[in-house]
Structure 1
Amino acid sequence: MKLLSLIFFTCLVLSCSGTKSVVNNTKKPTPKPTPKTEGNGSVANSNTEVIKITDALHVPDSNEEIEIIEKPILNAEENVPEVFNHNILNNLLKAYVSEAGNVSYKDLKKNHKLLLSYIEQLGKNIPNNAWSKEEKLAYWINAYNAMTIDLILRHYPVKSIKDIKNPWQQRYWKLGEKWYNLDEIEHDILRKMNEPRIHFAIVCASYSCPKLQNEAFNASNLEAQLTNATNEFLSDPERNTISVNNLELSKIFQWFAKDFKQNGSLIDFLNRYSKVEISQNAKKRFKDYSWDLNE
């Protein structure tokens, strides 16, 4: 009887010991981390960095007026450039440029610092060989227009860009390691990209120029934007008067005639975008050019 009791007690001890071992060796489930949220309630992603930009229409006076956005991080291993964000310029143009292309420089001057911040971003993100042609064109067209507006604001009020001494030679803007003027961007960069429609996209702040579009150019929609700017310029009777046999054209077509003859004659170019089928024998003359400020 004592022997049976001893065997039972030994089995009971071994059973309890095994159970305790199982309990002690069981891993507790690791709790899932709580996603990190930002001030606007969005969830931060490991593939993004959070940056702060000001409202595109004014300089904020407090942190409450700062918007937080997510921006893709550059993959250093692939050395792929970011697609440049032209939203600041786009919002400024929408706010201060009318459908007709008139600029409210007086009001825009109140937000001059914001325009300068956009130009500063241009300087830190200059295109390289990895950028597509469309990205480069959009960058340099927007750079030219933003810098022209900046030039006017630096000297405003003025009645004409020509009231400014050597306006197209002024070097106010550093992009990358170089200080640029407007002439260099137009003649040494944009004109060499073999896209004659840039002449209807870059604007010299004057009445007879093509109208300043009230949106920034962007790579994804560039073809449509350039075509629209060309169509609008050609169909504007204040800038061009076109009929089958008679042409009264902007002097832009005289000054940059070589650019419009890359794939045929000037009339061949015009016929691609004109609503009128122009005769190859049409008579041409060039209108007077008004340098009055486009406001």
Structure 2
Amino acid sequence: MTRSTIPVVAIGLIGSMLVELTALTTPDPKISTAPLNSSMLSVPVDHSAYDRLLKKYVNERGLVNYKGFKRDEKELQKYLDLISKNPPTDKWSKNEQMAYWINAYNAYTIQLVLKHYPIASIKDIGSKIQIPFVTTPWASKFFKIGDEEMSLDNIEHSILRKKFNEPRIHFALVCAARSCPRLRTEAYTADKLIAQLDDQGSDFLNNPAKNAITPQKASLSKYFDWYKGDWKENNKSVDYWVNQYSKTKINKDTPISYLDYNWALNEQ
């Protein structure tokens, strides 16, 4: 799935050496970060239908039963129709808006996988030659929010990252890969959002498959490399965010490397 605002990324198009940052993009100037339609209902979306689906088809490890989800695809579509027709307005709180966009990203990612299922990886979707920000699954505008055609990249980079200045979204957005943070067995909601993001951070940093941390060395998720600008916002640092959640602490002198990203499907 990542993601300064956007770090400067050199896109190599020479031969087959495509950069492995397919979840990154720059904000799309065509996508407004303001409320999409202030005439829409001011009442925030009820995420309970999505919550029920997550409890039914996601396990405690964050792995998805896509076969089961496929059988309930119509129920997922009903929720996405609700999302599509009721974008956030200026009457919503910051947490209500953030919960909406995080749920939208994760739910539309599930829908994208289901449309092409069975697949071994989300990267199997679309063009065989995937140009970051252009022909990847995340760049595909396959849904509408209000009257605007949008992509997963638009939600992540042009709205969540650009508008909210909240690095912890990287612990919550799930791009259907094994190296992603776990998909929660519940929807994000405004009243629990901060606790949910903190829980995601703790789970992610203390999972040795995603971040292997010792006092002598930190082998971190590529997220901390891809989005290093985000982690440094507000005079913070990568080691600051690691130490917020990791049981094993590091310091400025701790050698940091980055783990290979496992793009295999996050399937049960």
Q: TM-score, normalised by structure 1?
A: 0.72
Counterpart of 2:170 in structure 1 is: 199
Counterpart of 1:27 in structure 2 is: none
Instruction: Give distance in 2, aligned partners of 1:162 and 1:95.
Output: 25
- Say whether the 8 Å CA contact 2:177–2:264 is kept in structure 1: yes
- Say whether the 8 Å CA contact 2:205–2:211 is kept in structure 1: yes
Q: Deviations over 1:11-61 (max 9, x none)?
A: xxxxxxxxxxxxxxxxxxxxxxxxxxxxxxxxxxxxxxxxxxxxxxxxxxx
1:215 aligns with 2:170: no
- Say whether the 8 Å CA contact 1:241–1:248 is kept in structure 2: yes
1:81 aligns with 2:42: yes
Between the two proteins, what is the percent identity of the paired residues? 47
1:248 aligns with 2:209: no
Aligned residues: 217
Residue 80 of structure 1 deviates from its aligned partner by: 7.5
Within a 5 Å distance, the mapping from 1:135-154 to structure 2 comes to 135-154=96-115
- Say whether the 8 Å CA contact 1:141–1:201 is kept in structure 2: yes
Instruction: Give distance in 2, aligned partners of 1:103 and 1:232.
Output: 17
Within a 5 Å distance, the mapping from 1:61-210 to structure 2 comes to 81-165=42-126, 166-192=136-162, 193-210=164-181
- Say whether the 8 Å CA contact 2:58–2:64 is kept in structure 1: yes
Counterpart of 2:265 in structure 1 is: 293
For 2:251, give the aligned amino acid.
Answer: S
- Say whether the 8 Å CA contact 2:45–2:82 is kept in structure 1: no
Instruction: Give distance in 2, aligned partners of 1:206 and 1:273.
Output: 22
More helix by share: 1
1:260 aligns with 2:221: no
Gaps of 5+ in 2: 1-39, 127-135
- Say whether the 8 Å CA contact 2:44–2:88 is kept in structure 1: no
Instruction: Give distance in 1, aligned partners of 2:139 and 2:52.
Output: 28
Instruction: Give distance in 1, aligned partners of 2:142 and 2:251.
Output: 45
The one of 248, 257, 281 aligned to 2:253: 281
Instruction: Give distance in 1, aligned partners of 2:148 and 2:191.
Output: 27
Instruction: Give distance in 2, aligned partners of 1:196 and 1:170.
Output: 24
Q: TM-score, normalised by structure 2?
A: 0.79
- Note the aligned Cα RMSD (angstroms): 1.2
Instruction: Provide the secondary structure at the position in 1 that maps to 2:243.
Output: helix
Gaps of 5+ in 1: 1-78
The one of 242, 245, 257 aligned to 1:270: 242
Counterpart of 2:208 in structure 1 is: 237
Query: Which shifted more, 205-214 or 262-271?
Result: 262-271
- Say whether the 8 Å CA contact 1:97–1:212 is kept in structure 2: yes
Instruction: Give distance in 1, aligned partners of 2:251 and 2:225.
Output: 18
Rg (Cα) greater in structure: 1
Residue 245 of structure 1 deviates from its aligned partner by: 2.7
More strand by share: 1
- Say whether the 8 Å CA contact 2:222–2:258 is kept in structure 1: yes
Counterpart of 1:33 in structure 2 is: none
Instruction: Give distance in 1, aligned partners of 2:187 and 2:41.
Output: 23
For 1:174, give the aligned amino acid.
Answer: K
For 2:140, give the aligned amino acid.
Answer: Q
